[in-house]
Amino acid sequence: MKITAIEAIPFAIPYVKPLCFASGEVHTAEHVLVRVHTEDGVIGVAEAPPRPFTYGETQKGIVAVINDVFGPDVVGLTLLQREIIRNRLERTIGNPTAKSAVDMAVWDALGKTLEQPVSELLGGFTDSLRVSHMLGFADPDVMVAEAERMRETYGISTFKVKVGREPVSLDTAVVRALRGHFGDKIDLYVDGNRGWTARESARAMREMSDLDLLYAEELCPADDVLGRRWLVDQLDVPFIADESVPTPADVTREVLSGAATAISIKTARTGFTASQRVHHLAEGLGLDVVMGNQIDGQVGTACALTFGTAFERTSRQAGELSNFLDMKDDLLAQPLQIVDGRLHRLAGDGIGIEIDPDQLAKYRTDR
């Protein structure tokens, strides 16, 4: 079970259409495939999606930090020494997606070595999740048409609408159009990616108070400390902390200060090891959690599915597991299939995915 090498392979797959939101936009999945090799010939895989506008990581930076820092930290340890691995990776405060991809590739290698699915090693609660789809910025009729297509083609009926533009009526009009078109056939929540001030957020939430929203996510910056508490205090829906809680300690700080009342768990950001801690913390505090999407490809989505199916609390709400559908292509030998609005756990050991070598050769950018 000894880890002998870690590879960080950059690849680029274009999107059919860009995903735009208050903090940035994504046109191409310029991700990093991480492969952990063991002395037994097992290879664990995971992917790191750099989000420079959120965490400051870039594709080149992820490759460099894995090759120069995290790889040497981890090579020579065994797959069972995950707390030592975590301890060494956590010496670095930043680089959340690079650390998480290494952590999840180690878990994948462990599952493959033990011939067990990682979802069962983590908790094994259920075998599928309801899927929630993220709708990026667009005009109301375009958003309604996309939601209609997602419902008809994949049976998806939960939508997270990106908001945070000025004036707030640009976004509230979209949410109103979706509710008007679908009535109570869909569930809706909104994510501002810190685009509004606390005052704008309060105004927008008042304008949408008749639209039966499930949640509001990261509408204004957590650094607007008192404004954010003022906002969260007046809402009658849970307020999800996403990019303001990259570590379990951030969850404690934000929740105990009244700046959030629910948590987005993103395996791209906290891997499996730290996501377990975030989950347990949320359970102890009695908070809702949503399996979030760091605009993951199919490898990353399989990781979110693995974690989300492991626990009762992570499988209560629809998980954000569908934005890989906007990519032109992907790396998996067996593409993920959303059927009747659900994604089912994969049959194989580990995370349950297999990388198609021809697809990797086609999209990797280091050769």
113 binds, among ligand MUC, Mg ion, none (CB under 5 to 8 A by kind): none
Amino acid at 155: G
| Shortest Å, Cβ 242 to Mg ion | 4
Q: Considering the rule CB under 6 A, would residue 293 count as an interface residue with ligand MUC? A: yes
Q: Which of 7, 37, 54, 311 binds ligand MUC (CB under 6 A)?
A: 54
Q: Considering the rule CB under 6 A, would residue 243 count as an interface residue with ligand MUC? A: yes
Q: Which stretch binds ligand MUC (CB under 6 A): 125-133, 204-212, 248-256, 291-299?
A: 291-299
330 catalytic? Reply is no
> Does residue 73 contact residue 51 with C-beta atoms inside 8 Å?
no
Q: Which stretch binds Mg ion (CB under 5 A): 100-108, 189-197, 269-277, 299-307?
A: 189-197
CA atoms 120, 125, 131, 136: torsion sign:
negative
Q: Considering the rule CB under 5 A, would residue 242 count as an interface residue with Mg ion? A: yes
Q: Which stretch binds ligand MUC (CB under 6 A): 65-73, 74-82, 182-190, 286-294?
A: 286-294
Q: Considering the rule CB under 5 A, would residue 320 count as an interface residue with Mg ion? A: no
Closer residue to Mg ion in complex, CB, 146/242: 242
Closest CA to 105 of 132, 136, 148, 74: 74
| 289: β partners | 263
Q: Residues near 280 by Cβ (< 8 Å), separated by ≥ 6?
A: none
Catalytic residue among 30, 47, 217, 243: 217
Catalytic residue among 99, 112, 160, 162: 162
Q: Considering the rule CB under 6 A, would residue 292 count as an interface residue with ligand MUC? A: yes
Q: Residues near 61 by Cβ (< 8 Å), separated by ≥ 6?
A: 50, 95, 98
Q: Which of 7, 242, 326, 349 binds ligand MUC (CB under 6 A)?
A: 242
Q: Considering the rule CB under 5 A, would residue 254 count as an interface residue with Mg ion? A: no
242 catalytic? Reply is yes
CA atoms 92, 304, 218, 22: torsion sign:
positive
User: Burial level of 129, CB count in 10 A (0-12/13-18/19+)?
Assistant: buried
Q: Which residue is nearest to ligand MUC (CB)?
A: 54
Q: Considering the rule CB under 5 A, would residue 330 count as an interface residue with Mg ion? A: no
Site string (136-175) toward ligand MUC, x via CB under 6 A: ----------------------------------------
191 catalytic? Reply is yes
Q: Considering the rule CB under 6 A, would residue 97 count as an interface residue with ligand MUC? A: no
Rounded-to-integer distance, Cα 310 and Cα 122, Å? 6
266 catalytic? Reply is yes
> Does residue 227 contact residue 254 with C-beta atoms inside 8 Å?
no
Closer residue to Mg ion in complex, CB, 112/160: 160
For the chain, the maximum distance between any two Cα atoms, rounded to a whole number of angstroms, is: 59
| Shortest Å, Cβ 181 to ligand MUC | 23
217 catalytic? Reply is yes
Q: Considering the rule CB under 6 A, would residue 58 count as an interface residue with ligand MUC? A: no
Closest CA to 122 of 307, 328, 349, 336: 307
Q: What is the DSSP letter of 70?
A: I
Which ranges constitute the DSSP H helices of 167-297?
Answer: 169-182, 198-207, 225-234, 248-256, 267-270, 273-285
Rounded-to-integer distance, Cα 37 and Cα 18, Å? 34
Query: Quick check: bond before 335 cis, omega within 30?
Result: no
Q: Which of 103, 191, 254, 330 binds ligand MUC (CB under 6 A)?
A: 191
334 catalytic? Reply is no
Residues marked as catalytic: 162, 191, 217, 242, 266, 294
Residues of this chain that bind ligand MUC (CB under 6 A)? 21, 23, 51, 54, 191, 193, 242-243, 292-295
Residues of this chain that bind Mg ion (CB under 5 A)? 191, 217, 242
